[in-house]
């Protein structure tokens, strides 16, 4: 068992039932992003505070929860095990997630 799987197993064992579904969703998305060869950062000289994978997983969980961007970032303060799994040292500002949502929509429409 590799390090990634062992970290996931420890997190799932420690989390309450409500939190574990978010960690499981994040883990599933992590595997999909890894297998799809999505880059961690879009640009070499970009600000490397958050990875693209972290942003995309957070956006998917926000949409799953049906929360506004502000409410989601406030909820993220309490979601300790999700932040631990994603490796977030700090919580992104709600406008960061909004901007990424708009940019990714525009990028998809261009294709």
Q: What is the token pair recorded at 43?
A: 């640009």
Domain regions of the chain by residue span: 3-110
How confident is the model over 33-63, as pLDDT tens digits?
A: 889 888 888 778 878 888 888 999 999 999 9
How confident is the model over 83-106, as pLDDT tens digits?
A: 889 999 899 999 989 888 887 776
**pTM for the predicted model, two decimal places:** 0.76
Going by pLDDT thresholds of 50, 70 and 90, the confidence category of residue 67 is very high
Going by pLDDT thresholds of 50, 70 and 90, the confidence category of residue 109 is low
Going by pLDDT thresholds of 50, 70 and 90, the confidence category of residue 26 is very high
């Amino acid at each position: 068992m590799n390090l990634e799987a062992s970290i996931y197993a420890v997190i799932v064992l420690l989390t309450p039932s409500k939190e574990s579904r978010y960690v499981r969703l994040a883990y599933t998305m992590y595997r999909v992003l890894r297998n799809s060869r999505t880059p961690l950062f879009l640009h070499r000289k970009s600000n490397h505070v958050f990875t693209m994978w972290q942003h995309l997983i957070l956006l998917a969980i926000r949409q799953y929860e049906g929360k506004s961007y502000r409410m989601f970032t406030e909820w993220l303060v309490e979601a300790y095990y999700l932040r631990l799994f994603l490796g977030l040292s700090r919580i992104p500002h709600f406008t960061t997630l909004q901007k990424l949502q708009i940019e990714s929509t525009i990028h998809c429409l261009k294709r």
